[in-house]
Amino acid sequence: MKRILIGLLILSPMFASAQGEWNQKFEQLGTQLPTANNYRNASGAPGKDYWQQRADYVIDAELNDENQSLTGRETITYFNNSPDQLSYLWLQLDQNMRSKASDTPLITENVVTKAMSGRDIQKISREYDFDGGFKVGEVSDVSGRPLKYIINKTMMRVDLPKPLASGEQVSFNVAWSYNIQDRMPLGGRSGYEYFPKDGNYLYTIAQWFPRMAVYDDVEGWQHKQFLGRGEFALEFGNYKVKLTVPADFVVGSTGELQNASQVLTKAQLEKLAQARKTFDKPVIIVSEEEARKAEKNKSSAKKTWEYHASDVRDFAFAASRKFIWDAQAVQLDTKTPLAMSYYPKEGNPLWEKESTKAVANTLRTYSKHTVEYPYPVAISVHSASIGMEYPMICFNFGRPAEDGSYTDAVKWGMIGVIIHEVGHNFFPMIINSDERQWSWMDEGLDTFVQSLTEKEHYPTKPLKRGEARLIVDYMKGDKKGIRPIMTNSEQILQFGDNAYGKPAAALSILRETIMGPELFDYAFKTYSERWAFKRPSPADFFRTMEDASAVDLDWFWKGWFYTTDHVDLSLSKVKWYKMDIPENEVENKAKKSKKAKISSGESSQSLMDFGDEAETFTFTDTDPAAVSERFAEFMNVTDDKSIMKANADRNFYELTFENKGGLVMPIIIEWTYEDGSVERQYLPAEIWKKNENVVTKVFAKDKKVTNIVIDPNKETADVATENNVFPRMENNSRFDLFQSGGE
């Protein structure tokens, strides 16, 4: 019979030696994060000397529907709020990604397959005749005197006549033009869609003007070349924009329309006014009947639409004579923005039914979890094969069949992309992270709040991302095809899972399992409020989440964001003990037990079960001489007899857990007892602090246990749940039975 002292039984896991390499998973992140300073303090908040630059734009542009081109002229006023003197400025020329001298096709890998489509071959041969890229015609000061500049692919440096001192501002002009690409064969975030049946174009225009690059305390000039994936680092500013288009076009844009009486009919003006007071459903401002009429007549006259926007980091617009336009007001805590949609007849009836409603739902949920939406409008524009975001406006896919029918997949896909792209108003259009550097800070955070929005307003919609179970297949994949979340945008492999899915699942686990919604929501909202209209870094997010919650999460950031480890916690061994007490020691209590069968679980092919009877241990009286001095006071009041009596009939279960995936996580245990009752216990991730590979813990239970399941609701993204259950049977048949209620 195996006899174990109860003191050693309880304390032995503390002295277990580590198996395998010590990876310091609980080492504090302070050694890896940037040192706090006066610009960004150690709490994760902006410091007392935080600064950021500002750029204001006055733009006049014309969209030519005859040859699908755009011509513009802008005056940029740049405010140097930094403590530094600047001798030159950098501007982004994103359309140069489409120039014939672009690096993008040169760094794009491709292979020959057994079946090659025309589009596949065209991407390799590049035989299409498209002259993309900006044609910069002028760079001058406000007096018209030329300024020296140099274009380096997608970046332009403007050399200043004299250095721009801290606190000063400078204004200068840029004139440019470019050819708008057909997005259908060429792709891209901006461009046009052509409708051959009626011979019309729908333009979704972005990255359409030379824009100031960011200069900040983290990177200096953020002028990484735009290769097509890494999105945009931009400065906040005010915009005054005039857009000249064919007279029958409808224009949806960042900002507020300034000359509605000049570009809208009296009836449309009345409908727009009605929409501002209508909260229950959209009001049709431009009807499908009007759009169909415009498609046929095609005016040769022109109109200029003027939009102004304050405190935005970018500006985009959509234009077409095909647009139907609807709008409704959304009541937030203190503001009532307009939710609006622009879509061609090809989007109906789905878009009229669902788009603006999805915009409104997004504003409500995101405002609750981040900051109240500050802008006057939020717009969803429909065009095929696109999902892209800009301040107050986004472009979204989701098109019914020609007869107007649509599947649930089309409907849910459309609603999902609208929520996601409208949600980008918050990340990064308001909480202005550096997308060129860190895709997860906008895509991952946005995808997480998107999942909250979908669960709140569309409970029957299948979630694609934002829960632990949805990232399992990616996490258990070949590590050669996986990069850490903390990877630059252009180097990420499996972009959707890495930048969207994994960080969203991580935040869901953090909220639901580790911190709890109350602590998480407060910290997440604190981060959003601290960094609204500012430029946070990853360290600011990590530090704020801890600062506002008093939860040490360095182990979590380190594992989920800095490694490619996965979760695979195995319940590798279970031993059942009872106290071995002579019958005369405790009246009417325990009877002496026979030696039990012990299930080691070392062979996955063997039956793992509790056995017929418990293993026993011998109770011995506490020996004060064997106890360290610091425990002496406790031992003076120890009543061995009462302890023995209280535990005589208890079952002691010694559970051994192995961390096979490398990612430490809390251990969630579900106990099923002989009487059918169920209990859940939660062990914080810190249980792994002394040994990151194997931990053993003993639990005292009044009732006999018949089944144990680890992570019963699949909330930790464990990739191998077959080793989470005890007893285990061959082929996991018993596990399947126990887990059936966990979905």
Task: Tell me the average pLDDT of the chain.
Answer: 90
Cα–Cα distance for residue pair 78/89, rounded to 1 Å: 9
Compute CA 497 distance to the chain's CA centroid, rounded to the nearest angstrom: 10
Question: Coil, strand, or helix at residue 115?
Answer: coil
- Cβ partners under 8 Å of residue 584, min gap 6: none
SS3 assignment for 585-618: CCCCCCCCCCCCCCECCCCCCCCECCCCCCEEEE
Percent of residues, the chain, with pLDDT higher than 90: 78
Cα–Cα distance for residue pair 484/491, rounded to 1 Å: 10
Q: What is the pLDDT of residue 128?
A: 62
Strands (E), 6-154: 54-64, 69-79, 86-92, 135-141, 149-152
pLDDT surpassing 80 at residue 8:
no
Lowest mean pLDDT among 38-52, 278-292, 627-641: 627-641
Lowest mean pLDDT among 192-196, 308-312, 640-644: 640-644
Q: Kindly list the structural domains of the chain, giving each domain's residue range(s) and its CATH number in brackets, ordered by start.
A: 6-24+568-739 (no CATH), 51-235 (2.60.40)
Model confidence pLDDT, tens digit, residues 605-633: 344 677 777 787 777 776 665 555 555 55
- Cα–Cα distances (Å) from 559 to 38, 346, 484, 503, in that order, read 29, 46, 9, 12
Quick count: other Cβ atoms within 10 Å of Cβ 210? 24
Computed over its alpha carbons, how large is the radius of gyration of the chain?
A: 32
**Which residue pairs from 278-281 have beta carbons closer than 8 angstroms and sit at least 24 positions apart in sequence?**
278/328, 278/329, 279/328, 279/329, 279/330, 279/331, 280/328, 281/328, 281/357
Percent of residues, the chain, with pLDDT higher than 70: 88
Confidence grade of residue 101 (pLDDT, cut at 50, 70, 90): confident
Q: What is the pLDDT of residue 15?
A: 32
Lowest mean pLDDT among 224-233, 395-404, 631-640: 631-640
Question: Coil, strand, or helix at residue 304?
Answer: strand
Q: What is the pLDDT of residue 732?
A: 46
Q: What is the pLDDT of residue 632?
A: 55
Q: Helices 408-423 and 440-457, interaxial angle, to 10°?
A: 130
pLDDT surpassing 90 at residue 321:
yes
Cα–Cα distance for residue pair 110/277, rounded to 1 Å: 53
Confidence grade of residue 22 (pLDDT, cut at 50, 70, 90): low
Q: What is the pLDDT of residue 734?
A: 38
Cα–Cα distance for residue pair 360/68, rounded to 1 Å: 33
Assess contact for 291 and 344: CB atoms under 8 A: yes
- Which residues are 212's β-sheet partners? 91
* β-bridge pairing 377-382 and 338-343: parallel
Q: What is the pLDDT of residue 614?
A: 78
Model confidence pLDDT, tens digit, residues 450-496: 999 999 999 999 999 999 999 999 999 999 999 999 999 989 999 99
Confidence grade of residue 169 (pLDDT, cut at 50, 70, 90): very high
- Which residues are 200's β-sheet partners? 195
Assess contact for 55 and 237: CB atoms under 8 A: yes
Lowest mean pLDDT among 227-236, 398-407, 662-671, 716-725: 227-236
- Cα–Cα distances (Å) from 491 to 205, 227, 438, 541, 562, in that order, read 27, 11, 11, 22, 14
Confidence grade of residue 60 (pLDDT, cut at 50, 70, 90): very high
**Amino acid identity for residue 27 in this structure:** E
More confident residue, 5 or 375: 375
Cα–Cα distance for residue pair 283/680, rounded to 1 Å: 51
DSSP codes joined into one string, 374-400: -SSEEEEEE-TT-EEEETTEEEE----
Task: Give the residue carrying structure tokens 């070949």.
Answer: 478
pLDDT surpassing 90 at residue 731:
no
pLDDT surpassing 70 at residue 335:
yes
pLDDT surpassing 60 at residue 585:
no
Q: What is the pLDDT of residue 415?
A: 98
Cα–Cα distance for residue pair 301/270, rounded to 1 Å: 24
Confidence grade of residue 292 (pLDDT, cut at 50, 70, 90): very high
Tokens of 534: 């500012």
Task: Give the residue carrying structure tokens 């793992």.
Answer: 608
pLDDT surpassing 90 at residue 740:
no
Cα–Cα distance for residue pair 95/90, rounded to 1 Å: 15
Phi and psi at 85, nearest 5°, equal -90, 130
Cα–Cα distance for residue pair 8/698, rounded to 1 Å: 11
Task: Give the residue carrying structure tokens 């006899």.
Answer: 3
- Give the HSE-up count for residue 443: Cα atoms under 13 Å, Cβ half-sphere: 25
Q: What is the pLDDT of residue 634?
A: 56
Tokens of 491: 């180097």
pLDDT surpassing 60 at residue 337:
yes
| DSSP one-letter code for 463 | P
More confident residue, 135 or 613: 135
Q: What is the pLDDT of residue 592?
A: 42
Compute CA 215 distance to the chain's CA centroid, rounded to the nearest angstrom: 25
392: left (phi over 0), alpha (psi -120 to 50) or beta: left
Model confidence pLDDT, tens digit, residues 210-262: 999 999 999 999 999 998 888 999 999 999 999 999 999 999 999 999 999 99
Mean pLDDT, range 105-133, rounded to an integer: 78
| DSSP one-letter code for 99 | S
Task: Give the residue carrying structure tokens 């293993």.
Answer: 615
Q: What is the pLDDT of residue 438?
A: 96
Model confidence pLDDT, tens digit, residues 434-446: 999 999 999 999 9
Cα–Cα distance for residue pair 568/659, rounded to 1 Å: 6
Q: What is the pLDDT of residue 114?
A: 83
Handedness of CA 714, 715, 718, 723 (dihedral sign): negative
Task: Give the residue carrying structure tokens 């234009």.
Answer: 319
**Amino acid identity for residue 441 in this structure:** M
Q: What is the pLDDT of residue 622?
A: 67
Mean pLDDT, range 100-113, rounded to an integer: 79
Tokens of 339: 């939710």
Q: What is the pLDDT of residue 463?
A: 97
- Cβ partners under 8 Å of residue 375, min gap 6: 309, 312, 337, 391, 392, 425
pLDDT surpassing 90 at residue 323:
yes
- Which residues are 578's β-sheet partners? 616
Mean pLDDT, range 693-718, rounded to an integer: 96
Task: Give the residue carrying structure tokens 């953090």.
Answer: 510
Q: What is the pLDDT of residue 720?
A: 96
Q: What is the pLDDT of residue 10?
A: 33
| DSSP one-letter code for 478 | -
Model confidence pLDDT, tens digit, residues 36-49: 999 999 999 999 99
Task: Give the residue carrying structure tokens 């503390």.
Answer: 14
Model confidence pLDDT, tens digit, residues 521-572: 999 999 999 999 999 999 999 999 999 999 999 999 999 999 999 999 999 9
CA angle 188, 194, 197 (to 5 degrees): 155
Cα–Cα distance for residue pair 148/161, rounded to 1 Å: 9
Mean pLDDT, range 324-329, rounded to an integer: 98
